[in-house]
Structure 1
């Protein structure tokens, strides 16, 4: 096997021409496409990182909003309890006042009825006393001043008419 210099030189020259042509026409566009692809991948990675950061901040905001809403809900519940207890106390106080007023009215009505009954009883007792006295007077036809004074005194004590 012999080594041929001409073939080697010719191969090196062909390789040089091929390299020159590839470098001039193929490697430039190929490298620019690869560079564009690299930039696109970097841009997508940056966008993904930004989106992830935004998602994390959004989740944190939502957690804070949820905690705030819970606090507000607890405050509203507590205010409702306080309002409810105040209203209950007010209703109880109003009921006590109303019961006291009704009791006072009932006592007053009872006293008025009692007074009316006593007055009616006195009236009837006076009328009965007058009838008794008139019957006694009719029996005792005499006009004894001592008996008249006794009847007048009795009528005054009973509350009858003089």
Structure 2
């Protein structure tokens, strides 16, 4: 009997237990759950799927755009590096060209300076030669005058005839030049 009494006590306690639902509550709850499940599956699941697909597409599109932007950035960087290398090459070429032009200008200026120096030397030599000729002419005139006076005193007659003076002076100068040449040949 204790066994039966204890079973009855358990059954009575089970009927009054608030944690164990009644049969009508189980049926009503199951039907309500099925209706909610059908509504969620029919209305919410497609919207959730659509939202997830949109997010997936947005994320994938963002990744593609990021990859494209990265590829564009890499292409721009490569282009920049190529242009930088080209600019460096061009600058190097321009420096070399300027160096060559500078050397050419220096050579031209040196050549012009040498030509100017030669011209100045030639002009100075011409002027020296002209002054030498003038000095020789003055010297001849003075020597001629002195020699005519001296010859006139030695000879005792006047040599005032210009033709005669000229002949005497020329003869005297020729003798002096002949002696000078002879002395030069001896010293050489």
Category of TM-score, reference length = shorter chain: 0.7 to 0.9
> For the Cα contact (< 8 Å) 2:148–2:168, is it kept in 1?
no
Report the counterpart of residue 139 of structure 2 in structure 1: 121
Deviation of residue 28 (structure 1)? 2.2
TM-score, normalised with respect to structure 1? 0.79
Equivalences for 1:80-159 in 2 at 5 Å?
A: 80-137=98-155, 139=156, 154-158=168-172
Alpha carbon RMSD of aligned pairs, Å? 2.5
> For the Cα contact (< 8 Å) 1:125–1:158, is it kept in 2?
no
Q: Which moved more, 1:3-12 or 1:46-55?
A: 3-12
Report the counterpart of residue 79 of structure 1 in structure 2: 97
Report the counterpart of residue 144 of structure 1 in structure 2: none
Structure 1 runs of 4+ with >6 Å offset: none
- Measure, in 1, the Cα distance between the counterparts of 2:167 and 2:110: 57
Higher relative contact order (CA 8 A, sep 6+): 1
Long gaps (5+) in structure 2: 1-13, 159-164, 174-188
> For the Cα contact (< 8 Å) 1:122–1:158, is it kept in 2?
no
| Higher-Rg member (1/2) | 2
Out of 66, 70, 78, which is 1:60 matched to?
A: 78
Deviation of residue 155 (structure 1)? 3.1
Long gaps (5+) in structure 1: 142-150
